[in-house]
Amino acid sequence: MAAINVKLMNKELENLPEEALRRAPVWNSFLAKNKKRIEKMDTTIHALHYKWSERIDCLSCGNCCRVLGPRLTDKDVERLAKVTRMKPAAFISQYLRVDEDGDVVFQSMPCPFLGDDNYCAVYESRPKACREYPHTDRKKFYQLYKLSVKNAETCPIVYRVLDELVTL
């Protein structure tokens, strides 16, 4: 299946926060009415994840790497320091900070490893949180449903997954 046209993607990304906020009451109401059902819908939700991940080209988007900062674990820091050939302490001082929740995050966004072409310069060594985003293929997705309603403001894959899910 072909990826969604880049121009369409740009337009969609521009309108995404507003559109996701507009649709949030529908998605939240679906959750409220179908809690037990959603707990058993992982297979269906994962199929929607693969369908939309195939159609939406992350390289035409890059929104999560521009807007959301991943939380980094000690292992992430070790791996990234190694791949950038820096000592962990130097890597931390150059790129990282502790945020208001006590999480280790990049000092600024867009991510310093995001290229103009939306490629990640440390892709093979990227943080676990980057690997797992946008979470729509996670086991027990219902636990992340509310977070996903928020993530739909950033990620067109999440938006499409939720919007199709509520029609089922």
Q: Which of residues 91-130 bind ligand SF4 (CB under 6 A)?
A: 111, 113-114, 120, 122, 126-127, 130
Residue the block writes with tokens 């928020």: 150
Q: Which long-range contacts (CB under 8 A, 24 or more apart) does 33-42 make?
A: 35/142, 38/141, 38/142, 38/145, 39/140, 39/142, 41/141, 41/142, 41/165, 41/168, 42/139, 42/140, 42/141
Note whether 140 and 82 are within 8 A (CB): no
Q: Which stretch binds ligand SF4 (CB under 6 A): 20-28, 61-69, 86-94, 136-144?
A: 61-69
Q: Does 136 bind ligand SF4 (CB under 6 A)?
A: no
Q: Does 56 bind ligand SF4 (CB under 6 A)?
A: yes
Q: Does 65 bind ligand SF4 (CB under 6 A)?
A: yes
Binding site for ligand SF4 (CB under 6 A): 56, 58, 61-65, 70, 111, 113-114, 120, 122, 126-127, 130, 133-134, 154-157
